[in-house]
Amino acid sequence: MNQEAIKKYLDPANIAYFDHYRRQHRDHFDQIPFSDTRITHIFDADPASAAMYAEAFPGVQVSRSVDELVREVDAVWMGDASGRGEDHYDLVAPGLERGLPTFCDKPIGGTVEGTRRILNLARERKTPLMSSSLFRHQWGTEQALRMRDSGEHGPLHYLLASLGGGFSLPGWMIYAQHPIWTVVTLAGPGVQAVSAYAYENTCHALLTYPDRQPAEVWYGRPDVAAEYCSTSVHFQKRTYSYTPAIEGNWSLGHHYEMFRMADTFRRMIRTRQEPVPHREILEVTAIVHAGAKSLAEKNRMVALPEVM
């Protein structure tokens, strides 16, 4: 990593993050850098962005097209921090066609039909595909899964997944994916309907199941903005609440969830076993769109089949 390039292009907070965590071996969980993985090529529709990436990570070559890139690599990671996913099919299809294990960032396909199109291509080509949220890989989420699966705390009764920041409808389509992924990961797929209500810069959504307690998603929750997100998992015998932080250290927790997501993808490359069921990936997209439809129609309860 070229730290001078990091300092040239990033803001002070991210410069400090790279310096304090990404470059400190004591915080690398005895895994990073991965001994069997190397980033070799990058494609970006914006050539200037691709050039900056290659400068920051010496040895990475800039590809002129996705088709050129997939001829040179063993797997594809399609990252998109803020896009709506409308171009994701065109970006991942060449790799899926060649059988390259592929990670597709959220929102995976933009629309339910776009998501289904990507999933169908992966299935038809028998290509391993992963899509996920960092929230699925938080230390707290992993601990909640361990608690759920142990049975020691009784059955999971209720779940509240919250995200700080200010709500907007365009933001809902992208960032509500995170707390919704939390719900589907912990409470499971099978959501029947969604009702969403927004007031000013906060939005509250109720996700109902036909056979279990509902779950709540709160986007724009004002009291968790400093922690970015917060989740409360209510078991019969106790409640477990967590944020991304590990022992109060947010940056270390954020580093951990990114490491775990990347490592999960690496395991998929080696085993060709998909870590996230296609049903869950499609359902997350459908919940997002059902919530948007509910907001547009006076908060009515929108059944998932209406948007599927």
User: Residue with structure tokens 């509500």?
Assistant: 176
Give the start-to-end residue ranges of the domains of the chain.
Answer: 3-133, 135-262+277-306
ω before 244 within 30° of 0 (cis)? Answer: no
Residue 178's contacts (CB-CB under 8 Å, 6 or more residues apart) are 106, 133, 134, 135, 163, 229
- How distant, in Å, are the alpha carbons of 69, 123, 167, 174 from that of 96? 13, 9, 34, 23
- Please state, in angstroms and rounded to a whole number, the distance separating the CA atoms of residues 280 and 260: 19
pLDDT at 208: 98
Rounded Cα distance, 229 and 6, in Å:
27
Burial classification of residue 291, based on how many CB atoms lie within 10 Å of its CB (0-12 exposed, 13-18 middle, 19 or more buried):
buried
As a whole number of angstroms, the distance between CA 173 and CA 111 comes to 10
Q: What is the largest CA-CA distance in the chain?
A: 56
Task: For the chain, report the end-to-end CA distance as a whole number of angstroms.
Answer: 43
37 CB-contact burial (10 Å; exposed 0-12 / middle 13-18 / buried 19+): middle
What pLDDT was estimated at residue 8?
Answer: 87
Radius of gyration of the chain measured on its C-alpha atoms: 20
pLDDT of residue 25: 66
50 and 42 Cβ atoms separated by less than 8 Å:
yes
pLDDT along the chain (308 residues), means of 10: 85 80 68 85 95 94 97 96 88 98 94 97 98 97 98 96 95 96 98 97 97 96 92 98 94 90 96 97 98 98 97
Class at the top of the CATH hierarchy for domain 135-262+277-306: alpha beta
Residue 270: name the closest of 114, 54, 75 by CA. Answer: 75
pLDDT value at position 12? 87
135-262+277-306 and 3-133 share a CATH fold: no
Nearest alpha-carbon partner for 76 in 57, 97, 54? 97
The model's pTM: 0.94
176 exposed, middle or buried (CB, 10 Å; 0-12, 13-18, 19+)?
buried
Predicted local confidence at residue 245, as pLDDT? 95
Name all contacts of 27-30 with Cβ < 8 Å and 24+ positions apart. 27/252, 27/255, 28/259, 29/256, 29/259
Domain 3-133 fold: Rossmann fold (3.40.50)
Kindly report the number of other CB atoms within 10 A of residue 7's CB atom: 14
Q: Looking at this protein, which amino acid is placed at residue 36?
A: D
